[in-house]
């Protein structure tokens, strides 16, 4: 095996080995920017450049399975909540109290505004009061004459 590798390395042209080296460096640079490759390197405790495709595929399969299980569980829980019946048809005391509080806050009579001021004025009102011209006594307007 070592002899075959040695023959292959000696037979390869220097231009091909330079191109291969540049391709490996570009792959390492792209892998360093990818969060999945960095996750794989963190899981296996290696540098990003030392992560093998087999390790990458194992982590990718685990992440895919974890996400699938999570979304399936979440959709099941949402379905249970959506299709569940209400406990009662009528409103409870708390709901009525909250609704009454909100309605009371909407009414302008219950709000205190600082801009509204009450002014009081004194005025004289003249009213006719029937009196007896001779004695000056007030006559009863309800009594028939």
**Per residue in 89-134, pLDDT tens?**
667 888 889 888 888 877 766 555 666 677 888 888 887 777 888 8
Mean pLDDT is lowest, of 2-6, 15-19, 69-73, for 2-6
Beta-bridge mates of residue 138: 131
Would you give the DSSP letter of residue 86? P
User: What pTM was estimated for this model as a whole?
Assistant: 0.44
In the chain, domain spans: 8-83
**CB atoms near residue 45 (< 10 Å):** 7
Q: What is the pLDDT of residue 88?
A: 67
Contact 1/21 with Cβ under 8 angstroms? no
Alpha helices in the chain (DSSP H): 2-11, 14-33, 35-44, 53-83, 93-106
């Amino acid at each position: 095996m070592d002899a075959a590798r040695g023959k292959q390395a000696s037979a390869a042209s220097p231009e091909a080995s330079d191109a291969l080296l540049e391709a490996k460096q570009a792959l390492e640079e792209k892998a360093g920017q990818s969060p999945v490759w960095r996750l794989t390197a963190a899981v296996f405790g290696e540098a990003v450049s030392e992560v093998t495709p087999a390790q990458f595929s194992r982590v990718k399969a685990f992440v895919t399975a974890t996400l699938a299980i999570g979304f399936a569980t979440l959709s099941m829980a949402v379905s249970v909540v959506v299709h569940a019946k209400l406990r009662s048809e009528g409103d409870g005391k708390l709901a009525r109290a909250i609704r009454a509080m909100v309605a009371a806050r909407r009414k302008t009579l219950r709000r205190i505004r600082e801009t509204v001021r009450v002014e009081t004025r004194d005025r004289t009102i003249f009213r006719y009061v029937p009196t007896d011209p001779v004695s000056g006594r007030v006559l009863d307007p309800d009594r028939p004459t």
